[in-house]
Chains A and B, each alone.
Chain A
Amino acid sequence: MGEIDADGEQADGVEDEEEDYDEGEECDESEEIGDQNDDDDRDENDDEDADDEDEDEMDPQLVDELDSFARSFKDVANRFRLISKIGEGTFSSVYRAEDMEYDAFDNSWDLDRSPEGKRRLSMGDASSPTAKRQRTVGVGPRRKKYVAIKRIYVTSSPQRILNELVLLHTLSRCDSIAPLITAFRSQDQVVAILPYYKHADYRAFYRQLPLMEFKYYMKSLVTALEHVHLHGILHRDVKPTNFLYDPEKRRGVLVDFGLAERESVEPSYCTCRGYGENNHIRHITDRQPIGGYLKNDPRPGRRANRAGTRGFRAPEVLLKCLNQTTKIDMWSAGVILLSFMSKRFPFFNSADDIDAMIEIASIFGKPKISACARLHGSILDTNIPTVPDRGFTLEEIVDWAVSGTDVDETEASTRSLVDEDPEKDLAFDFLTKCLEVDFRKRISAQEALQHQFLAGL
């Protein structure tokens, strides 16, 4: 997403504005609540890259868009002042807006609301009596409050929209998940109002942050996932752009439940259910061609939900398992950690599912991937020479990734952050458990929070 430059700029700009009203040190951040990102990159047809749309705030096209959006949606236009577009995805666009009537509403969703608000207010009170008066009535110039407006494209079915809103609403009770403040509809146009979170771009910090610090990232992410999973929900699109992290506050929020779904109570059949028991395929003699494939195969394709972002899909998603569990999110979390530890983002390119499979196999080796394929009722056959017979450990991969290339001088210091961390072993253990190709052995969010790597925080 184009948040790298655009967001940084915006954040700065906002802070400047606020200095006029507030002297408090922390309040700068507390006011600005975040950013929302949708990603072109996700979903079945993910051929767009994440970072290819840097929005220029002055883009006349954007101005038009904001205008037309405001015009078409009076409710929204009256209360919120649209500032900029901060994300665009397959099913929605996200805008940053100022909440003009913030004080008129119950803002229990606002994490930084009361205690700081009080303090700030009293400070403001002392310094500026007019400010006090204005706040009291809740109108007029005052400290700005920002929200993220998610405008769901009208081509989305009501079911899809409802699904996202319901899930957001269900999950609103966790500090690590962006709560739904409210939502509106005007004919086919539905908008969701979410808090705007200040966050840093993942690319901006993943190579600088020490492992000790990144633990907070993981902890926060896994806490969010635990909450999501506890409700039997799969997020399906866990990736840095959907986890808005503020390194200073050590706080992150999971956003975008556009692809989320409930774990089915009665999942469709995949051989991975009851694998090892009597009911899995055992006696079937494979009569399909070997060493080649049928040119015009009349059989139907295996179909499964593959929604998600390339490079973050778990092996079972790639193998079109019909029995996908919340563990798919833990894989994605593992990919983030791998990317952090190897100092490479993205770690997997995965132009498509086949490439993704080969990339995963390049790490874990043929036997492990074969076993994983078998688990999901498939037979893997490959002679790709770079797919090793014996897989690498993730420690080997990370070692290679951080040292296998020339590193500039600033890098040299960051590399040692992982190298010399006393808890490096714990981190690798944790990483290995997240990136377990067999979802049954993969660590759950709940277990992950108990893992020593995170438990100490």
Chain B
Amino acid sequence: MASMIHQHANDEVSTLAATTLNGMASDAIERVGPSSAVSTNNRFANHLRHPSTTAIINTGIIEQSRACNAVSSTSSASMTISASGNAPSVTLHGLLGVSHQTERARELSREPRERVASLRERERVSARIRDTHQERERVQQQVPTTQNDTSEQRDSDNIRNWQRQWKRVLATSVFYFDGLEDIGKDRTKKQLLNYGAKIETFFHGGVTNVVTNRPIQANYAATDIIYQAKQRNMKIWTHEKFVRFMSHLQENPNASVSNVTNSHTSATLSRGHVVASDTSNNLCRMLREEKLTGPADSDPRARRDDIHYFKGPYIYIRDATQIYRPIMVREYTRVSEPQLGDWPQFRVTGPGKCPFVLDIQYHQNRDVKEVKPRRAGAKLKRTATLEVEPNTSKGAVKSRKLPEDERESHNHIGNFLQVHEDPQEEIDEYIAEDMRQQAASFREPHSRKKSALTPVRMTSARANSGSKTAADLKARKQALSATGRSYHVRMSAALGHELVATGINMSNATSNIRSMSQSGGAANGLARQVSQLQSKEVNSLKRKVFERSRRPLPIPQVAVKKEAVAVKEVRPGYCENCKDKYDDYEEHIKSRKHRKFASNDENFADIDDLLAELIQPKRELQVPYVE
């Protein structure tokens, strides 16, 4: 992209430079047709001798030199402008010499690290070009014009002639668009078809013209379409140039000339302005694009400093049209087990409770046995979740603030996990408890079904296959429909209860874990670093233990809100009528500004019209319903 911008910019600039010399000179570069090459060169030469032209060269010299130098020093320029068009640019180069700044800009563009600086530089260049224009305008006003109507007439004839010749050529041309497949709605394509040209979807030998969106380079790989096009003497256009060419082709020469009251030079001037603003627009657009997509000429897989790469689980919904910034982006802290994740997910919650909100109360109440006091362990390091609020201006990436309690609750989880170094202890503990529960629930007829249906319990009971409770469970499970059962397996998996799946061979796994946890140095808190199998299984168990944790994990949102409501005395808000934010509703509505609005009936004219319709009719019958 960088060099492409460069190229395009230079191309534009060269046009611009030439335009400043003379409108016809611009045509000379722009409108080089296959048969008009000589005549345009002649015309160009004539115009160079024009006094006004000389003046312009002198005044705008630095800027133009940079522009022109760029053209001539880029070998590709000769290709885009075509052989005959090249001549004037070279002439210009010869006249004006090399600009130091251009050199620098080019250097910068070669250095990817400095790309931003280079972009800025280019922005600056285009701004200067605009300045130069104003300067030139000033000069031109001072220069007496010697043009007359006949020359204008001649020019417009020339232009019409040029257009006619090109349209004839186009009628037999076959175009191929390289890398421009997505510009399907491009008007120029339609226009092209109107002139009788053909547009090919695939490149082949019959193509006569190639329009590319890539920068034109000196060398291409033999497999490159541009290379092959060159080999076959096809005309190669940059897309920018092509678009410009097409617009010139449509232009009404009479209109552009006759609109000008003053002189030929001012006609030129207005044209120059158009080109200049185009230039800056294009530059802006390309700069914008480059900011978004990164330089097209670098490896797209290369890491970029301006991108935040996801490290944890994320959701990222971006606009396919690429016009808008992402619709949703949020990243969550990476966790060892999905159910420890911060994102909304199905949770086992109390009756009637939202299934997406961790229901601490429920788990507390369900907790039958005392959880042993835990040693304080290393805190789970928790980085703030990042989010992009699509609504915030500038798409600012801000740190998602967690209420104190929530942060604390996560630390609890962290502590809890870290503290239970000995997984086997946990497993035993858990299983023992579960057995007790199973036995207890078996005695209660009402809770039979429910415990069987509870994924967590079903899971753990399975782990005890062979035991008495497991036999009970088996019987209970038959009460479940087949779909229900398979559902629970799936659902459990979704909920992070992998044990249902993995727990089938739990008896084996247990010994496995035991040996591993022993050899893995579980006792010193490093248990989590041992094998995948262990951490997965053990953590599942830990999770279950966690679910039974007695530790209060307050739901922060509720607590915070209750407080906010209690405090709510003054009501802040936004007044749509005054277009003002206010801190206190009562105060605001008494303000002079608001009263002024309120007392003006005109503001409510429409409402009054409706209210007139809404007047509740009086009852006609003032007599009783009966008798």
Residues of A that sit less than 8 Å from B by CB:
44, 47-49, 52-53, 103-107, 114, 117-118, 121-122, 125, 132, 135-138, 153-162, 165-166, 169, 180-185, 187-188, 190, 193, 203, 207, 271, 281, 283-289, 291-302, 318-320, 342-351, 353-355, 357-359, 361-362, 373-374, 377-386, 388, 392, 395-396, 399-401, 403-409, 411-412
Contacts and interface: CB of A to CB of B under 8 A. Distances in A.
Given A182-B616, A357-B315, A408-B351, A319 B344 contact: no
Interface in B426-478: 446-447, 449-451, 453-455
Interface centre among A166, A183, A299, A409 (most CB of B within 10 A): A299
B184 A283 contact: yes
B344 A355 contact: yes
B279 to A, nearest CB: 20
A329 to B, nearest CB: 22
A412 B451 CA distance: 12
Contacts of A284: 182, 320-322
Contacts, number: 348
Interface stretch (B6-14, B21-29, B606-614): B606-614
The 9 A-B residue pairs with the shortest CB-CB distance in the complex, in nearest-first order:
A188-B598, A292-B309, A403-B453, A157-B576, A297-B325, A182-B616, A287-B293, A386-B345, A302-B324
B597 interface: yes
A382 B316 contact: yes
B488 A190 contact: no
A386 B338 contact: yes
B288 interface: yes
Given A49-B561, A298-B288, A382-B316, 12 more contacts: A53-B565, A104-B618, A154-B594, A156-B577, A162-B606, A297-B395, A349-B357, A357-B317, A400-B488, A404-B455, A406-B454, A411-B351
Contacts of A288: 292-293, 318-319, 322, 326
A106 B616 contact: yes
B187 to A, nearest CB: 16
Contacts of B390: 301-302, 320
A347 B354 contact: yes
Interface stretch (B62-70, B300-308, B524-532): B300-308
Interface class of chain B by DSSP: mixed
Contacts of B614: 165, 169, 180, 182-183
B619 A384 contact: no
Interface centre among B310, B317, B446, B599 (most CB of A within 10 A): B317
Contacts of A190: 607
A378 B574 CA distance: 32
B315 A382 contact: yes
A409 B446 contact: yes
B482 interface: no
A407 B451 CA distance: 9
A234 B487 CA distance: 37
B617 interface: yes
Interface stretch (B52-60, B87-95, B411-419, B489-497): B489-497
B181 interface: yes
A404 B607 contact: no
Contacts of B304: 289
B484 interface: yes
B115 to A, nearest CB: 15
A299 B324 contact: yes
Contacts of B610: 162, 165-166, 169, 183
Contact of A52 (B306, B320, B322, B565): B565
A310 to B, nearest CB: 11
Nearest to A288: B318
Interface string B589-627: 100001001110001101110110111111110111111
A379 B588 CA distance: 44
Interface centre among B366, B391, B574 (most CB of A within 10 A): B391
27 contacts: A48-B565, A52-B561, A105-B616, A114-B625, A153-B573, A153-B585, A155-B578, A158-B603, A161-B607, A188-B598, A285-B182, A292-B307, A294-B292, A297-B395, A298-B288, A299-B319, A302-B319, A319-B327, A362-B356, A374-B320, A378-B327, A379-B317, A384-B345, A392-B487, A399-B487, A406-B350, A411-B351
A165 B292 CA distance: 45
Contact of A385 (B313, B322, B396): B313
Contacts of B192: none
B356 A349 contact: yes
A384 B315 contact: yes
Contacts of A135: 624
Given A125-B626, A301-B391, A404-B455, A362 B325 contact: no
Contacts of A381: 314-318
Interface centre among A157, A294, A377 (most CB of B within 10 A): A294
Contacts of B395: 294, 296-299, 301
Contacts of B325: 294, 297-302
A388 B349 CA distance: 20
A296 B318 contact: no
